[in-house]
Structure 1
């Protein structure tokens, strides 16, 4: 079943706050093989000019993907997640994610296209502090394999 084109331009309400902890940053840095002390040691981070440890650049995926569930699980969209592959991911960091941040995510559907029998959804997740300071813009492309109808393809 093809995806509902009326979702293009849809914006979901901000997610509940995600509190960034030192431990989560350390675990993520370990998982991705990031050896930098600014991701583990508050004193090293302060010496580098940060208020606390900072997250590796791809840490934003933890927060943005969780927030994108509001779109992925929306039954009105018609997305069969068992057919989805992650096509692309980019981040634009307005500032580093820092331990102690309380981040909310607003999810936007920027485009839905069909190519070669696949539906392609472009999603933008805007990560900001609770007070509204922009932190990261995460863009992802989700490809629903074999879901586009013949007239769309």
Structure 2
């Protein structure tokens, strides 16, 4: 089945809240070699005006992944994980993610473009805190290979 072009404009239900933990931020920082102390040391983060450690910018992908799982589970999407490559990722921040944040994300599909026998699917996940304030928009482009 080819990728469904009717995905464009589809918005998914908000995810369940994700509580950002200090140790998760530290683990992620180590994994991506983010060595600045504000990612691991609460005192360094507080010196910058934050309540706790600050997540590296790409940490938003952890929350966005919850939304991409919704997309992949859509029976009419035409997207097969085994033919999918994560081609591009961008983030637009209002403020950093901080340990203690409770984040909810909502995915919308902003584009489907045919590429040979496959397609490129562009999605945006709006990530908000518990007060519904914007934190970050995570944009992904998935490259979906066509049927053999």
Matched, 1:112 2:106: no
Task: Give the TM-score taking structure 1 as reference length.
Answer: 0.93
Distance 1:147 1:133 in 2: 41
Cα deviations by residue, 1:115-134 (Å, 9 ceiling, x for unpaired): 12221100100100122100
Show the counterpart of 1:64: 64
Structure 2 counterpart of 1:151: none
Secondary structure of the corresponding residue to residue 28 of structure 1: helix
Q: Secondary structure in 1 aligned to 2:43?
A: helix
Residues in 1 aligned to 2:3 and 2:44: alpha-carbon distance in whole angstroms: 48
- Checking the alignment, whether the CA contact within 8 Å between 1:14 and 1:105 is kept in structure 2 is yes
Q: State the 1:147 CA deviation.
A: 4.1
Within 1, Cα distance between the matches of 2:138 and 2:17?
A: 17
The answer to whether the 8 A contact 2:87-2:141 is kept is: yes
Q: Map 1:94-105; keep pairs closer than 5 Å.
A: 94-105=94-105
SS of the residue corresponding to residue 146 of structure 1 reads coil
- Could you give the per-residue CA deviations for residues 37-82 of structure 1, whole angstroms, max 9, x where no partner exists? 1011111111112121100001111110122110111111121110
**Structure 1 segments (4+ residues) deviating >3 Å:** none
The residue aligned with 1:85 is: 85
Structure 1 counterpart of 2:52: 52
Q: Which residue number corresponds to residue 42 of structure 2?
A: 42
Aligned Cα root-mean-square deviation (Å): 1.2
Which structure 1 residue ranges, 5 or more long, are not aligned? Answer: 149-153
- Structure 2 gaps of 5+ residues are none
* Number of equivalent positions: 148
- Quick one: distance in 2 between partners of 1:110 and 1:67? 14
Paired with 2:115 and 2:82, the residues of 1 have a C-alpha distance of: 18
Distance 1:68 1:3 in 2: 15
